[in-house]
Chain A
């Protein structure tokens, strides 16, 4: 029987707790939001691994769910600015005044409430994934076709959110946030709290994902990945399982986006860029598909590498990303965790076939 917290999950959670407690002591405060951002990416990677690594659903649009969660939180932060914006309009965010809106669009209603916005950060990505998955999986779209339409989904949202008429700040997105729940976003204590929340969200979602994959439902998901028709002929409605895991995964991605936005201080349509979604896949592949912990580690490694490369050799990043992708595909089919397992044991028991 598979344990909820296996050895590597336990190790990871312990290391995460330790690092979260140590970070404020060893890092300057201005780096704390950066670390918090990394943890959000790690959470996003766990979300993708849940549906790709276990159910075989290779989503190339998970950046969209992340961005939608981010927009939901960003909308709340815009509303919290209130009358302190440049135009001092208590009812409308600055960009709406600038664009000549005379009233708040209906889809902005309620976002002044934090609980409502937090709920929307989960519900909107979840609902989109549910509806999208319902149609795709019921029509038995799978494999590369599914990947392509998820990529098209995020691209369509990119184009839509770029338009000023959409009412989400167009090209510039949402920014100039001041406070969350009355706490200044630039205050060290707020930054620490957001960082701590990101760590807690990562740990919580990791445990939730473990609970799913170690349940009988998780074994059905792997069964679908390994032999979909066999699963159907055993009487399982495969589409129900696929929609379920895709939706849960999208909600986790939305949560990651909602925690990301107050720490980076901006959300704009660039988050919907197809390349972002592909990068998530690289994180998971590099860390080790179907391992959850590996996905989180993969995100941390690649994102740290990206931070360093874009600072030292700004032109090199895309080549490095491409090179990494090829390296993982050819040399590390089970990712870094697979490599570690190969060194740890003479004959590893491969959990995932490429």
Chain B
């Protein structure tokens, strides 16, 4: 294998993408993308609209198959062969760009469905609630600050609250890696900063990859930044490092 010119080596990386490409009707949404993320790392991915950030997450989570390239989990599991459910069961949680929760379920039931537990039909048919689950749900509700909304229908939450509920559902899965697509969209400044603090507190024990546009948010994360452009990595490093680069300013920051 050729040594990659990216953040971590293939062996050390928890998530490792190399030379990944995917086109839609001839348009290369992802074009030779390489990325390596280490366990416990907090990583921000930025880039203009259409850079391929969401598509990258689709490829990692089994929703979209790449035309070419390697996507490895823990150095040995080929993620491109797995479907969404299988990738999720490996411990990779994903938050969508548009907050997606189960609208007609209560906030509590949303979390209960996400709790790490057997996912088969028979297991859920015969499932009985346990005190341990109740305690985990209560703790999660505290963490995402939705304890007062426990019994509310998720449809009645505000946009920002839905974002948090969805992050809570990710945490309930007890994932090793969280992929978070534009969490601050539609949030107030205060909520944005709280979300950044929440994600920072999650990282370390888990790996967190965040896609975001809001530069104040990315600055608050205070982590390594990857700039995506036209489906490939344009720059990588600290926010100060990448935002000083002329090419990055050209395509992204200098708009």
Contacts and interface: CB of A to CB of B under 8 A. Distances in A.
Interface of A: 1, 212, 215-217, 219-220, 222-223, 226-227, 229-238, 240-241, 244, 349-353
Given A236-B85, A349-B153, A215 B104 contact: no
Contacts of B241: none
B121 A233 contact: no
Interface string B129-171: 1000000000000000000000001010000000000000100
B127 A215 contact: yes
B125 A232 contact: no
A233 B94 CA distance: 7
A226 B125 CA distance: 19
Contacts of A233: 61, 84, 88, 93-94, 96
Interface in B85-117: 85, 88-89, 93-94, 96, 100-105, 109, 112-114
B96 A230 contact: yes
Given A216-B127, A232-B85, A223 B105 contact: yes
Interface residues of B, number: 32
Nearest to B127: A216
Nearest to B153: A349
Contacts, number: 83
B119 interface: yes
A241 B109 CA distance: 18
A212 B121 CA distance: 11
B173 interface: yes
Nearest to B172: A234
Given A215-B124, A222-B104, A232-B83, 12 more contacts: A216-B125, A217-B125, A217-B127, A219-B124, A230-B102, A232-B88, A233-B96, A235-B85, A235-B88, A235-B173, A237-B119, A353-B155
Contact of B103 (A220, A229, A232, A353): A353
B178 to A, nearest CB: 12
A232 B94 CA distance: 10
